Structure 1
Amino acid sequence: MFTYKCEIQSGPMLEIKYYQSLRKRNKKNMSRSINRAITSEKMAQANRIRGEQHTQRLILANFKQGDWWVRFSAPYKNFTEEEFEKIVSNFFKRIKYHAKKQGVQFKYIGFCECGKRGGNWHLHIIIEDCIKDIALKMWKWSNGINLTPLYEDGNFADLAKYIRKDVTGTKRLKTSRNLTKPTVTVIEGKKREFKKLEKGEALPIPQGYYLVRDDMWVNDFTGASYHFVFMQLEMNHKRYAVECTKEATNESKAN
């Protein structure tokens, strides 16, 4: 059994994973172990979780508090999916053209969907604040725009779930090609550190971060794996720092 430590940096979020594998990473000429298929239900759940995590990482690596979650609607107009996709494609081209003239990049993550009654097609996308005014001018239905600032906590887990949620089986994720990808580093983990986690000892919090959550799950073949999520103590997360300061002050007064 081989032990590994994986670090994933997505903007202000740092994830640290400890896990064990039956095979050594990147080792050539090594026969594969017997394929142990899992049920389609478990596979679907695993794919859903991976999709949500990937989307959250992309959001954090590219957007921040002060950026926007926007719904661009085509009210009272009936389009086929193909027709609306063409409208969105031309919309993106116009934004990209004007953004380039102003010396800024056009980044986005989102999806298109249709109202329950088969009308009112709309586009949901995350855009940077520097793109907002350009995008608003380029959308020809000015009464079909709804703006929501990104969540203050900077975690975006709920937003990632909403973007990946698919109740119709037809949702298509849209992302620009210029998105910054999360940085992934995998090294051989120290077995001593893994043993401490198995005993229930906490992982030391990296300097400049605070712990968001920690998870542990068990695989039937490789045993326990551990996943820790940290966020940077920056201005975007000053609310958390203020709460910690208040707690410390209250404790001091109580003592």
Structure 2
Amino acid sequence: MLKYKWCICDMDGTLLNSKEIISKENESALKKLQQNGVEVIIASGRIDLLMKSFIKQLNLEGNIICCNGGLIKNITTGEIVYSKTIDKNIVKEIILYCLKNDIGFLVYTNNMVYSSKKNYKVENYESINKSAPPSLQIPIEYIDNSTVEYLEKVDVFKVLLISDTEDVKLLKDYFSKYKSLTAVSSLDGLLDIMASNICKGSALKILSKKFRMDLDKVIVFGDNYNDLEMFECAGMPIAMGNAVEAIKMKAKYVTKSNNESGIAYAINNFILNK
């Protein structure tokens, strides 16, 4: 029997390659872990609505950490285990700022993804919807100045800003003035905005406490700054070869990159063969 009971996987830059696909090697390795009694849990900046096909591919049935920890949800029952939303007035301020300054955005809620009309992320999701079966399609609605008032009626877990890398640094500084917000970069050109004190590490601690899981029995895979707190609390933090240096410094192992099925390499060499 393996010592580890949970395997937490970040998505972008970690589980997914640059084509936003879970490789067959990663899929096979994670299913080996499942066969050995290890529960695989996604911990992502995304919301579960954007991960339906990946959840199905890995046959996941338990809990998922979404929106960098702003939402913990049971993907089988739909139960919200934990959530912390952004103040509705501040959501409106953020979106009005984006509309005025031509900054792309996605707004994550429990049942819908709201988007600016033109950004590469939503164009990709619309393309996916054209070929996906209804059960795997992503629910998307567009927001502009005439419809921004609607956001006052919904609970928002995260706003993703989409801009040039240099602009993201300025945006982070700008929105960091709000004490009720957390702003963190997840990938180049992207800024995640959540409620204050939200991070994946805090969500992992909440989940482990609820299910009485010893964090020493948890494997974590990640690559970027929004994975840092998870690396600091998990027993087996493993950094991707493409990870930022801050993540590599906190890791017990550094595996191959996300484009080289680094998760599979680590599972087969650092976990199953130990």
Normalising by structure 1, report the TM-score: 0.25
- Of structures 1 and 2, the one with the larger relative CO (CA 8 A, separation 6+) is 1
Larger radius of gyration: 1
Q: Which structure shows the higher strand fraction?
A: 1
